[in-house]
Amino acid sequence: GTTHLTLNTGAKIPVVGLGTWQAKPGEVAAAVETALKAGYRHLDGAWAYDNETEVGQGIKNSGVPRSEIFLTTKLWGTFHRNPLENLNDSLSRLGVDYVDLWQMHWPVAMPSGQGKIPVNEDGSRKIDFDRNFTETWKDMEKILNDGSGKVRAIGVSNVSIPRLEELLAEASVVPAANQIELHPYLPQHDLVRFCQSKGITPQAYSPLGSTDSPLLQEPVITKIAQAHGVQPAQIIISWGAQRGVTVLPKSVTPSRIEANAKLVHLSAEEMKEIDELSSQEGKKKRFIKPTWGGWDLKFDDWK
Ligand code: A2P
């Protein structure tokens, strides 16, 4: 099967990457080391995950050269007016000179200097309404092209079709990737096709449906898993890979980390069954609920 996709920069990106969101301190370094030793060459991370120091330790402990690894970090919302400060902090925590992909984590700016998630008195999140994400994108473009070599590609995350259209109208650099919640209960067919038609590689976060996912017990998935003699997670990851998206399963369990990198080939009939799963009554689910007051992210498949 396909092991790599090619970004619009020409760089190759391994289809399966280790997700590090919700990997707890004390677990991440070992998970990264296990993954790299098992053959992973793609690590997905973010400044906001608060574990980049450990991710860097895992890379060092593995002995795998930095140049062989596709490494991603993301710009956090409170740094939209000073993206370079956030990038420099990620590089220093990771202990690397560059990342392969730097993504805007959300198309939403939040005020700086009030912690990671500034909140209003009523508990809602504070938004920096005077800072449009397209302006932040232009700053990311400048950093991409400033000759420092700190980022090899720039991308976005959590961006819907209407917001991508808004961005593409103003951008000089087409995002290399858009990382979105993507799994059989939220296949986002329209958004995936839109990204692919524009040369933007879609990337699946929470590809298994996140923590305690009901997807792993979903009869359509377990039936196909039994037919192939593999774990349900491997079917879900293989389905993503065959759609032409990169898949970023998170695990801190060695046996799962190893299994998740082993893809199987699904028949056209199996692909169709999984593609259509979310159209069954009550099956469509978003696991990650963005709670950004004032912003309607308008994911096309999620009404
Ligand atoms: P753990 O990290 O304890 O191994 P997602 O990638 O959608 O966010 O899902 C991550 C969740 O799925 C984590 O709770 C992770 O548990 C679990 N997980 C990862 N791989 C597998 C697998 N092969 N089988 C079952 N659960 C898995």
pLDDT in tens, 60-71: 999 999 999 999
Residue type, 133: F
Tokens 């998630």 identify what position? Answer: 117
The CATH code of the domain that includes 246 is 3.20.20.100
For residue 53, the CA-to-ligand 1 centroid distance in Å is 22
Whether 49 is a known active-site residue: answer: yes
Residue 31 has pLDDT above 90, yes or no: yes
Q: Does residue 285 lie in a domain region?
A: no
**Closest CA to ligand 1's atom 23:** 256
| Catalytic hit among 49, 98, 185, 205 | 49
Domains in the chain: how many in total?
Answer: 1
Q: Does residue 156 lie in a domain region?
A: yes
Domain span at 125: 4-279
Q: Does residue 294 lie in a domain region?
A: no
Tell me the HSE value of 55 on the side-chain side, using a 13 A CA sphere: 32
User: 86-120 pLDDT, tens per residue?
Assistant: 999 999 999 999 999 999 999 999 999 999 989 88
Q: Does residue 299 lie in a domain region?
A: no
Q: Does residue 198 lie in a domain region?
A: yes
**3-state SS class at 239:** helix
User: 180-230 pLDDT, tens per residue?
Assistant: 999 999 999 999 999 999 999 999 999 999 999 999 999 999 999 999 999
Cβ atoms of 203 and 16 within 8 Å: the answer is no
Q: Does residue 289 lie in a domain region?
A: no
For residue 205, the CA-to-ligand 1 centroid distance in Å is 12
Residue 1 has pLDDT above 70, yes or no: no
Burial of 160 (0-12, 13-18, 19+ CB in 10 A): buried
User: 258-269 pLDDT, tens per residue?
Assistant: 999 999 999 999
Give the model's confidence band at 122: pLDDT under 50 very low, under 70 low, under 90 confident, else very high: confident
Q: Does residue 194 lie in a domain region?
A: yes
Give pTM, 2 decimals: 0.96
